[in-house]
Every structure is written in structure tokens, then in C-alpha cells.
Structure 1
Amino acid sequence: MIHSFAYNWFKGTEQKNPRARFGEVQVLNNLYIDISSYGIDVGASPQVIAEENI
């Protein structure tokens, strides 16, 4: 099963948008504004597909 995060607006957060651990995660068409540290966080060998994020 692939978990998807699509069409979100992350504004003024620090990190972990999203955090992926294990499994398969798709991060698609998200908008990141004023992120103070980092956006997508990975740990423990997930498979992440990140496409068309700004």
C-alpha cells in the first residue's frame, strides 16, 4: 500500500512534512512556504516518491 500526501500547503513549519518510516510514500504537488529546517523527513528505509513539489 502506498501512502500519499498530495495537494497540501505547508506554511511556517519546521520539519517533517511528512515523516516517512518504512513502506512506500508518495509526496505529490505540495507547496512548502517558510520552512525553517527541512521538508520531507525519511528514516528506517522507506521508499519515497517526491514529484512536482514547490
Structure 2
Amino acid sequence: KKPNILYLRILGSLTYVLIPKLRRKGKLADKANKEILIGFNSSNNFLVYVPSQNRVINS
């Protein structure tokens, strides 16, 4: 069976990470944050750099 490559994206590209409804600050608040894709985890997760917090998260 061939590996699935549909989830792959270009490293360094702009990425939007969804904000959960419970963390949003009202009905008209942003639904996603702009972040930078820096890599992939072994479990098909994305490693994303958050410039506003100066840290890397799994998404």
C-alpha cells in the first residue's frame, strides 16, 4: 500500500490554526490564528511556530 501524502504541505508557509469555540472571545472574534508551518510530527501532526507567543505547538 502506498503512503498517503495528501496531508503534506510546504514548510515555511502560512498556516491557519483553528481556535476552539470555548477559547474564542465572542461571536465575532477570530476563528483561527495565522502561524508558520515548520515541520511534521511522526503521528501526522503539524509542527507550527506561533510568532505572538514565540513557541512551537503541535496542531
Q: TM-score, normalised by structure 2?
A: 0.21
- What TM-score, normalized to structure 1? 0.22
Higher strand proportion (structure 1 or 2): 1
Q: Which has the higher contact order (CA 8 A, sep 6+)?
A: 1
